[in-house]
């Protein structure tokens, strides 16, 4: 409450107010796109041939962080991959 008033902050607040209505839906749409991308990257491990596996392999360390939430979202309580250390 004691924060100094600034016009910039006011505009930020206003922008947030008018964008918050669809924030959830847009975040969900983006997450769906990410989920599909993650599935494509993991396709080799799931038994589907992936011509770009040489490159996607390099992404695995970064994907590992998102992997647990991804397989939960996909309706699998446990990790479907033996090569991935997860839950």
Q: Does 34 bind another protein (CB under 8 A)?
A: no
- All residues at 6 or more sequence positions from 69 whose CB lies less than 8 Å from its CB, including other chains: none
Q: Does 10 bind another protein (CB under 8 A)?
A: no
**What is the DSSP track for 6-30?**
-HHHHHHHHHHHHHGGGHHHHHHHH
Q: Which of 9, 26, 37, 59 binds another protein (CB under 8 A)?
A: 26
From residue 42 to residue 81, the character string flagging contacts with another protein as x (rule: CB under 8 A) and all else as - is ----------------------------------------
The two tokens of residue 12 are: 């930020």
The rounded Cα 17 to chain-centroid distance in angstroms is: 24
Binding site for another protein (CB under 8 A): 11, 13-29, 31
């Amino acid at each position: 409450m004691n924060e100094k008033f600034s016009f910039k902050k006011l505009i930020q607040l206003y922008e947030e107010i008018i964008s918050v209505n669809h924030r959830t839906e847009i975040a969900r749409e983006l997450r769906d796109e990410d989920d599909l991308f993650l599935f494509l990257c993991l396709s080799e491990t799931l038994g589907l041939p992936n011509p770009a596996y040489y490159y996607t392999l390099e992404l695995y360390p970064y994907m590992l962080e998102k992997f647990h939430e991804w397989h939960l979202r996909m309706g699998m309580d446990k990790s479907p991959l033996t090569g991935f250390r997860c839950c």
